[in-house]
Structure 1
């Protein structure tokens, strides 16, 4: 091939060849990035819920172990006390039951005194048998307590591992969300010291107290696993708000939904303070009245008040505390 023709062919092919040996991945459009973020947020709801459930499971396992360990300590003390009692009784029996003691008993000139002495021996034998039985029962209870405490400790270790696994998943998800939000210029750090805004809606009574608390958290950052005071996740905020309203709610969205099994209300009949759950039960918010909700949305956002119509999650139902 003539050199000139080769140069012409090379010039024609040059625009088609990748620079540096590889083509650059096209940057997603804003619409594509938002769609990806929506998918990540949905996945994060489920992951954070599992993380919270594992955390609550660990708390229960630790409490169970502490309670059983306290019972084990009490049983140990009881067995030790009974053991001392048996030693004292054995020494006493030896002293009374020796040759001198028995000879003195049967050489009593008074038959009444001899019968009284025999009755004392019978009572002592019965008491000894009772103490022996109590000691055996206490020992058995001690073994049972020790086995239960050992099992509870193993459960706590297992749930600790489960929590670590879910935390690793959540951390990975948060990293992906944060990266995408920063690319979109939409990452909000929030202010852990925010004093929020005043609630001016139609709520009254306990619901008013709950919403007053929730609105006072507006502007604070979303933080998965957050139970305040500087950061919240969705169920942590709802739990704390209704605690201020005098109602004790469980920690996780699944537990809150289950707790409200007999308190469910129609989404067409919402009242201020009602808990609103998204499909999949990965997210919960508080209805504030007048078509608004207050909630802790997701990573890279803050506690805020938005219209229910812009909620962005498919709803599954509501619960009235």
Structure 2
């Protein structure tokens, strides 16, 4: 058969999709799918970490704004009270017709001009002078706090925009993970009400309280941004577990690593309760003793206990809170 004819026959024998489209790409083999999932998990760890950091930044900015906004309202009440006090003193000291131009002066918007005008009145007492000084100071503080509140609000809005962008990226990544896991038949929904499993390892003291809490979360779903009680991400679980022992950790993996700068320990000298950081600080787990760890792995999985030797993530270091 001529080469051209053979080629034509081969083309004709290729399967064609209904509607004339090209044949869809074959599904990846299990090893290929697992390799792709491993890469997705690594990318997701970093994106979720950025999402958490953006969230913490927004919360701090919002808290600062709310604090300044409260200060602003209190200052407003203080200024209003001082105005009433000044008017009351003026009325008691200068009866109707007693002070030329008083009404025009008290309604001025410039506290400095008001102070200068009233200071020229020889009847002004030391008490009134102190009140006016307090009035001037309160107004200056009010203006300063207003400016700070505006800056804080702008920062909160910028953080919220940043958070929205990171959340969109994380959502896209999660959808890809779920699709691939379902294709592999490996997607685990978890049980938000899982009672967990008892901890019977070698930990004692604070570390034991940490691990008892963490083991009680086993079986609950991984949820990015999750801080419990029905679902967790990796740093949300470590934070809550150490909180159960009375230790306050920052929210995100990066913050926990930075917080533990003076508490880092060798990976060869791990003790129960130590935090183990991996994947370029994109993930954190808790050492449970006996060569095991407990952690919230990634989307499509659940909080679980695994051996450190089978962990399969690049280790960065450890912190002992």
Equivalences, count:
295
Aligned to 2:231: 231
* Matches of 1:78 and 1:226, distance apart in 2: 42
Q: CA deviation at 1:27?
A: 2.3
* Matches of 1:165 and 1:96, distance apart in 2: 64
Do residues 16 (structure 1) and 11 (structure 2) align? Answer: yes
* Matches of 2:97 and 2:261, distance apart in 1: 69
Q: CA deviation at 1:11?
A: 6.9
Aligned to 1:30: 30
Give the secondary-structure state (helix, strand or coil) at the position aligned to 2:318.
Answer: strand
Q: CA deviation at 1:123?
A: 8.0
Matches within 5 A, 1:139-288: 139-288=139-288
Aligned to 1:128: 128
* Matches of 2:122 and 2:279, distance apart in 1: 74
Q: CA deviation at 1:122?
A: 6.7
- Normalized per residue, the structure richer in helix is 1
Contact 2:42–2:279 (CA under 8 A) maintained in structure 1:
no
State the Cα deviation string for residues 126-182 of structure 1 (Å, max 9, x = none): 322222211111111111111111221222111111111111111000000011111
Aligned to 1:39: 39
> Which range moved further: 171-180 or 157-166?
157-166
Give the secondary-structure state (helix, strand or coil) at the position aligned to 1:19.
Answer: coil
* Matches of 2:39 and 2:25, distance apart in 1: 21
* Matches of 1:312 and 1:127, distance apart in 2: 75
Q: CA deviation at 1:195?
A: 0.6
Q: CA deviation at 1:26?
A: 2.9
Q: CA deviation at 1:292?
A: 0.3
Task: Indicate how the Cα distance of structure 1 residues 129 and 273 shifts in structure 2: closer, same or farther if over 3 A, else same.
Answer: same
Structure 1: gaps of 5 or more residues: 100-120
How high is the TM-score relative to the length of structure 2?
Answer: 0.87
* Matches of 1:217 and 1:195, distance apart in 2: 7
Structure 2: gaps of 5 or more residues: 100-120
Task: Indicate how the Cα distance of structure 1 residues 98 and 151 shifts in structure 2: closer, same or farther if over 3 A, else same.
Answer: same
Give the secondary-structure state (helix, strand or coil) at the position aligned to 1:95.
Answer: coil
Q: CA deviation at 1:319?
A: 0.4
* Matches of 1:278 and 1:270, distance apart in 2: 14
